[in-house]
């Protein structure tokens, strides 16, 4: 079986949720005997030099990236108003990638073309023109749903009106894509239910994002105990909302009741206003160069998400490392957890504060959460087992 995987970012190094999702599934498919071809856009925003990609990975994925600056701009956003396309989508279509895709499709006959995220679906007309392969959308999130949740809290009326227009266009495009493809792969059952309600006639399948657990040894004791940390890409709007809520609604209570506790906020794309918060008990880390060392250093993981869809990959990493974790119901969507066994669910500021205090003050509770987190990762998130399951689904699709 031959699969072509189209991505809107280069996946190595796998240092954020979407690149981890792309990278580990590529490994899972290749390590299960699939002839895999990986064709990512190497964007300016998330640029990753090809010469740093391991040769072994390049060989087993026929790796080839195409560079493009897909950053948003005021001019681009303005000019887009005179089109009927979503600016969220249109900036990912460009001739250099189109030419590379056509060349790849002419050279190799594929069974499956897997589109990583709805933004790459802008190339579906090209795929259909040059290939007879089944087209599968791997939906990392229901994108218009994320923006709908965000728009509920947006206060700037001009920005809100512009984003509403863009999201209306995005929603229309996303729904058309749902009905154009041969199958949809979702990362959570929640997203699968949402998409099935929109397009009940399109075949769908839930495929969790796995990890190579050999690369994630369980951490038994943090180097800096009694610390809290939030680790996520800070150029993604739901994560910024999470930190705002954490700082405004939870942290003042913790700082008052447990004044020796330290809070670490880490992730690339850190907004300037967060950088100014660095103090004796708040640390801001813009670049995490070694994620294993980071998880090994800090103690209790906080994931207070209030919007977004799909699976939070950093949360899965935390489970794999055996981190005691507190999150919201939305943060844990797609995770087959038991609250207070694998992690703690807290859906209000008072519940979140109480959970933090309980975990920091109860060694037995913390130890049980660590064991439960790792056990959950071992049971549900092994990358090779997930890759094998998806391979079987694709074999049935091609029959």
Residues 194 and 249 in one domain: no
Domain that holds residue 336: 215-380
Predicted pLDDT at 214: 93
Residues 267 and 365 in one domain: yes
CATH number of the domain residue 317 falls in: 3.40.50.2000
Residues 123 and 60 in one domain: yes
Residues 120 and 199 in one domain: yes
Residues 308 and 238 in one domain: yes
Residues 129 and 278 in one domain: no
Beta bridge partners of 135: 113
Residues 61 and 39 in one domain: yes
Predicted pLDDT at 280: 86
Q: Which of 142, 183, 197, 121 is nearest to 310 (CA)?
A: 142
Query: What secondary structure does DSSP assign to 85-131, as a single string?
Result: S-HHHHTT--HHHHHHHHHHHHH---SEEEEESGGGGGGHHHHHHH-
Q: Contact, 33 vs 3, CB < 8 A?
A: no
Residue 282's φ and ψ, nearest 5 degrees, are: -130, 125
Instruction: Give the total number of structural domains in the chain.
Output: 2
Residues 61 and 85 in one domain: yes
Report the predicted TM-score, pTM, of the whole model to 2 decimal places.
0.81
pLDDT, mean of each 10-residue run, the chain (399 residues): 96 86 95 97 92 95 95 89 89 95 97 96 97 96 78 83 90 94 93 93 94 93 96 89 96 95 95 90 93 96 84 90 96 92 97 97 97 97 95 93
Q: Contact, 136 vs 183, CB < 8 A?
A: yes
Q: Per the structure block, which two tokens stand in for 5?
A: 């995987």
Residues 42 and 176 in one domain: yes
Predicted pLDDT at 155: 82
Residues 357 and 390 in one domain: no
The three-state DSSP-derived secondary structure of 24-79 is HHHHHHHCCCCEEEEEEEEECCCCCCHHHCCHHHHHHHCCCCEEECCCCCHHHHHH
Residues 184 and 246 in one domain: no
Residues 371 and 393 in one domain: no
């Amino acid at each position: 079986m031959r699969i072509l995987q189209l991505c809107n970012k280069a996946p190595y190094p796998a240092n954020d949720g979407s690149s981890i999702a792309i990278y580990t599934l590529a490994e899972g498919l290749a390590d299960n005997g699939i002839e895999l071809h990986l064709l990512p856009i190497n964007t300016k925003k998330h640029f990753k030099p090809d010469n740093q990609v391991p040769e072994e990975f390049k060989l087993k994925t026929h790796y080839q990236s195409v560079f493009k600056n897909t950053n948003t701009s005021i001019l681009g956003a303005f000019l887009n108003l005179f089109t009927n396309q979503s600016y969220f989508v249109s900036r990912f279509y460009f001739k250099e990638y189109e030419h590379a895709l056509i060349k790849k499709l002419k050279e190799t006959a594929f069974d499956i073309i897997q589109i990583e995220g709805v933004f790459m679906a802008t190339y579906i007309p090209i795929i259909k023109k040059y290939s007879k392969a089944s087209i599968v959308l791997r939906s990392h999130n229901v994108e218009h749903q994320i923006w709908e949740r965000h728009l509920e809290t947006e206060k700037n009326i001009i920005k809100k009106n512009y984003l509403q227009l863009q999201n209306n266009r995005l929603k229309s495009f996303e729904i058309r894509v749902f009905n154009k493809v041969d199958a949809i792969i979702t990362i959570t059952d929640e997203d699968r239910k949402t998409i099935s309600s929109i397009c009940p006639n399109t075949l769908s399948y839930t495929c969790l994002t796995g990890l190579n657990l050999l690369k994630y040894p369980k951490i038994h004791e943090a180097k800096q105990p009694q610390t809290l940390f939030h680790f996520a890409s800070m150029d993604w709007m739901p994560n910024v909302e999470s930190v705002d809520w954490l700082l405004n609604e939870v942290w003042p209570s913790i700082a008052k009741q447990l004044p020796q506790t330290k809070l670490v906020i880490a992730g690339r794309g850190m907004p300037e206003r967060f950088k100014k918060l660095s103090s004796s008990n708040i640390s801001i880390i813009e670049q995490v160069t070694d994620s294993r060392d980071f998880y090994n250093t800090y103690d209790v993981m906080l994931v207070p998400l209030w919007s977004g869809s799909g699976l939070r990959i950093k949360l899965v990493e935390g489970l794999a490392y055996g981190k005691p974790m507190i999150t919201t119901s939305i943060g844990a969507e797609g995770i087959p957890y038991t609250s207070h066994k694998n992690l703690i669910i807290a859906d209000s500021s008072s519940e979140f504060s109480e959970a933090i205090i309980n975990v920091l003050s109860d060694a037995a509770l913390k130890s049980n959460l660590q064991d439960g987190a790792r056990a959950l990762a071992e049971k549900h998130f092994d990358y090779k087992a997930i890759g094998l399951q998806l391979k079987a689904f694709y074999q049935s699709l091609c029959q």
